[in-house]
Amino acid sequence: MADSSFDIVSKIDRQEVDNALNQTVKEIGHRFDFKGTGASISWSGQEHIEIKANSEERASAALDVFKEKVIKRGLSLKILDAGEPKLSGKEYKMLVALKEGIDQENAKKISKMIRDEGPKGVKAQIQGEELRVSSKKKDDLQEIISLLKGKDLDIALQFTNYR
């Protein structure tokens, strides 16, 4: 009997992030408390979102609106890595990085967690920016998924290729 397996990945649905960004742009344009503050939010390359406003508070408020939209689109806030608002000329700029992929440190931490707390006979292999978890029993794999969903990790995890 072949082993059952699944992959643990950390991927971002860019279309949903883009939709959340567009909704935020609309809301900032219409809301009374953003009138005259020069508040804007836009893509800055492929991996960053840039927020601009004439005060730290407005930049943070724009970030809060964006986070609200991200949650409504069904994405995790763990994909966002917001920096501090920095004064640049007459306006404040804030860069929000998008975190994607499982780095080696987190992959080792998750692998160790599976070995220590998971059922016996479950194997976890690090494959680049993802982990492959395999076992003889499908119930053990379900248990691993429940275990990882219960942990508070600093990255957003998805479980794919369940066989």
Assess whether pLDDT exceeds 70 at residue 88: yes
Strands 91-98 and 80-82: antiparallel
- Asked if residue 2 has pLDDT above 80, the reply is no
Helix axes of 14-30 and 56-72: crossing angle, nearest 10 degrees:
130
Reply yes or no on whether the pLDDT at 1 is more than 60: no
Closest among 79, 90, 67 to 20, alpha carbons compared: 67
pTM of the predicted protein model: 0.86
Taking only the tens place, the pLDDT of each residue in 109-144 is: 999 999 999 888 899 999 989 999 999 999 999 999
How far is Cα 32 from Cα 150, in angstroms, rounded to an integer?
40
